[in-house]
């Protein structure tokens, strides 16, 4: 099976998917391959019963439905590739129904919490100014962490007040920049010119002058949230979620928010509208009910 997995991974690499997506495919397929080896079952013998057993094995491992779904979608695409290239005659997963996912609404910060968190970095230091510029840019644009860390200096146009962001499959979108984000990016770039990493084209770098990792950024945001006394679960998407909800709360139309976030399907953006509607109902209740 390893031979076919390698062929498939080479195939998806040619589709300009992100590195994280390809690595997720590789992990999912390796997990399925190990499952077959433990059962001493040949790749050619896989049928719907095997798939059902595999799902039960994932469930026993306390794996979330969303992760199980991702594993099954990976297998479905893998077998689709195998069929198209006539490596197998039929797919054992084509008729398997994916488990229903209970979609949890993402947790967002209030505007006040965002303001407190953004004030935490010490902008009298290079690191603090870099962190403030990163956090301000994240909240001002709603970009993903990977998109932030891939930004190059020339992607930012401070005079015209916009940035160019490359999303999935290298698709570019233009995002306006707010005045506060521009202020801190200007100050950061001015100080950065005197630093040893100033020749790098990347906009933000770690303390060693290298590309910052997603984990590195998460630790920075988490530390500032702790210092700010924010007890909410801060993750890599917190600023993106907060950006979308705050725009909708202040009157932005959902199509514009979809375009800013780079969502292909508006259904992904509608999740934020659900949060906005829920928050509005709570506000109306508290302001209207005599016992609230």
Q: Can 25 be counted among the known catalytic residues? A: no
Query: Which CA distances in Å does 3 have to 6, 9, 29, 154, 242?
Result: 5, 10, 12, 42, 44
Give the whole-angstrom CA distance, residue 105 versus residue 271.
Answer: 7
Least confident of 119-133, 143-157, 239-253, 261-275: 261-275
CB neighbour list of residue 113: distance below 8 Å, 6 or more residues apart? 228, 230, 232
* DSSP structural state of residue 201: S
Please give the pLDDT value at position 246. Answer: 93
3-state SS assignment for residue 225: helix
Is residue 168 packed enough to be buried (19+ CB in 10 Å), middle (13-18) or exposed (0-12)?
A: middle
Please give the pLDDT value at position 59. Answer: 85
3-state SS assignment for residue 96: coil
Model confidence pLDDT, tens digit, residues 222-234:
999 999 999 988 8
Model confidence pLDDT, tens digit, residues 164-210:
998 766 788 999 999 999 999 999 999 888 776 566 889 999 988 88
Helical axes 48-60 vs 65-84, angle rounded to 10°: 150
Please give the pLDDT value at position 161. Answer: 95
3-state SS assignment for residue 40: coil
Least confident of 67-71, 99-103, 113-117, 246-250: 99-103
Q: What is the dihedral of CA 170, 189, 143, 235, to 10 degrees?
A: 120
| Cβ contact 237:112 at 8 Å | no
Give the whole-angstrom CA distance, residue 101 versus residue 67.
Answer: 10
| Cβ contact 153:203 at 8 Å | yes
Give the whole-angstrom CA distance, residue 206 versus residue 203.
Answer: 10
Catalytic residue among 169, 219, 255, 278: 169
Position 265 confidence tier, pLDDT thresholds 50, 70, 90: confident
Q: Distance between alpha carbon 219 and the CA centroid of its chain, in Å? A: 16
Q: Can 272 be counted among the known catalytic residues? A: yes
What percent of the chain lies above the pLDDT cut of 90?
A: 48
Q: Can 263 be counted among the known catalytic residues? A: yes
Helix-strand-coil split of the chain, %, nearest 5: 60, 5, 35
Model confidence pLDDT, tens digit, residues 10-28:
998 888 778 888 898 999 9
Pick the more confident residue, 102 or 160. 160
- pTM metric for this prediction: 0.65
Model confidence pLDDT, tens digit, residues 113-169:
999 999 999 999 999 999 999 999 999 999 999 999 999 999 999 999 999 998 766
Please give the pLDDT value at position 279. Answer: 67
Please give the pLDDT value at position 66. Answer: 79
Catalytic residue among 130, 240, 241, 246: 240
Please give the pLDDT value at position 45. Answer: 80
Q: Which domains does the chain have, with CATH numbers?
A: 2-84 (1.10.150.130), 111-287 (1.10.443.10)
Catalytic residue among 54, 79, 184, 272: 272
Q: Can 169 be counted among the known catalytic residues? A: yes
- Is the pLDDT assigned to residue 55 strictly greater than 80? yes
Please give the pLDDT value at position 101. Answer: 55
Phi, psi of 173 (to 5 degrees): -140, 150
Pick the more confident residue, 63 or 252. 252
């Amino acid at each position: 099976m390893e031979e076919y997995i390698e062929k498939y991974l080479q195939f998806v690499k040619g589709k300009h998917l992100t590195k994280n997506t390809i690595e997720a495919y590789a992990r999912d397929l390796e997990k399925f391959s190990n499952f077959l080896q433990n059962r001493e079952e040949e790749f050619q013998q896989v049928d719907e019963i095997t798939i059902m057993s595999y799902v039960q094995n994932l469930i026993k491992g306390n794996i979330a439905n969303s992760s199980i779904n991702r594993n099954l979608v990976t297998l479905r695409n893998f077998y689709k590739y195998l069929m198209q290239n006539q490596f197998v005659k039929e797919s054992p997963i084509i008729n398997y129904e994916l488990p229903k996912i209970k979609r949890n609404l993402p947790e967002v910060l209030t505007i006040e919490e965002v303001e407190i968190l953004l004030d935490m970095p010490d902008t009298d230091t290079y690191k603090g100014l870099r962190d403030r510029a990163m956090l301000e840019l994240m909240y001002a644009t709603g970009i993903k962490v990977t998109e932030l860390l891939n930004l190059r200096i020339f992607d930012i146009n401070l005079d015209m007040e916009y940035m160019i962001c490359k999303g999935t499959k290298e698709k570019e979108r233009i995002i306006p920049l707010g005045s506060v984000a521009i202020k801190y990016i200007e100050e950061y770039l001015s100080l950065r010119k005197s630093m040893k990493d100033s020749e790098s084209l990347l906009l933000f770098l770690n303390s060693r002058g290298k590309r910052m990792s997603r984990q590195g950024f998460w630790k920075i945001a988490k530390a500032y949230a702790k210092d700010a006394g924010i007890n909410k679960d801060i993750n890599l998407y917190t600023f993106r979620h907060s950006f979308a909800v705050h725009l909708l709360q202040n009157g932005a139309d959902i199509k514009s928010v979809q375009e800013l976030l780079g969502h292909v399907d508006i259904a992904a953006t509608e999740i934020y509208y659900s949060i906005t509607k829920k928050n509005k109902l709570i506000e109306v209740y508290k302001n209207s009910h005599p016992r609230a």
